[in-house]
Amino acid sequence: MKVAVLAVQGAFIEHEKMLEKLGVECIELRKKEDLDKEFDGIILPGGESTVQGKLIKELGMEDEIKNKIKKGLPVLATCAGMILLAEEIANDDKVHLGLLPVKVKRNAYGRQLGSFYTEEEMKGIGKVPMTFIRAPYVEAVKCGTEIMAVVNEKIVAVKYNNMLAMSFHPELNESDKIHKYFVDMIINNK
Ligand code: GLN
């Protein structure tokens, strides 16, 4: 099994370390040609969604990433990655990949609560540590998107077919539960 990590900006190295810990081979997606390589899943990391969105467009990567996910490639999207994946952004008129049927709100916790840590249940996974950094949350889910976790009455994790997306950074804590769950999604997809 090989997992590709979008490595144009943001917290991609931490995801790679997590995959290494699980013994999963990973490759970095830095340019268009990297998308020709073989891989069984993709991680869209946290960072800055506007920068990431601009870069994947400029580097000519957007359409191919979109096609692959549309065709069923399992994706783990965290924080900015979730914004990239969302069909609608409440406080932005931009849409990037536009594949996940949710409306997300960027920087949704304001300045004061911009960053915080908590632990909460995630459906089918159990209690997981959650580190939020200038995080978005899901304002509304559409057509069959499953709610996976809720914190302070806000939806912070969702799943829709091959897409698992969350507001927080699972790669910044010791727990590898979410990455394991994602690896299982890949195995079940094969
Ligand atoms: N605030 C960032 C954005 O809007 C997301 C923050 C993150 O990925 N930690 O893209």
pLDDT for 110 equals 81
120: its two tokens: 């909460």
pLDDT for 113 equals 63
Please count the CA atoms within 13 angstroms of the CA of 105 that sit on its side-chain side.
11
Element (H, E) at 55: helix 49-58
Catalytic residues, which ones?
79, 169, 171
Under a CB-based contact definition with an 8 Å cutoff, are residues 165 and 158 in contact? yes
54 Cβ closer than 6 Å to some ligand 1 atom: no
CA of 136 to the centre of ligand 1 (A): 7
Distance CA 13, CA 6 (A): 10
CA of 167 to the centre of ligand 1 (A): 9
Q: Is the dihedral of CA 145, 146, 151, 152 positive or negative?
A: positive
Beta strands in 7-99 (DSSP E): 25-29, 41-44, 75-78, 86-89
Residue 114 vs residue 85, higher pLDDT:
85
Nearest to 190 by CA among 166, 158, 159, 162: 162
15 Cβ closer than 6 Å to some ligand 1 atom: no
**Arithmetic mean of pLDDT, 82-108:** 97
**Arithmetic mean of pLDDT, 55-74:** 98
Top-level class of domain 2-189: alpha beta
- The string of pLDDT tens digits covering residues 1-44 is 999 999 999 999 999 999 999 999 999 999 999 999 999 999 99
133 known ligand binder = yes
- The string of pLDDT tens digits covering residues 156-181 is 999 999 999 999 999 999 999 999 99
Q: Where are the domains of the chain?
A: 2-189
For a ligand 1 pocket test, name from 49, 76, 94, 95 the mutation site with the most ligand atoms within 8 angstroms of its C-beta: 49
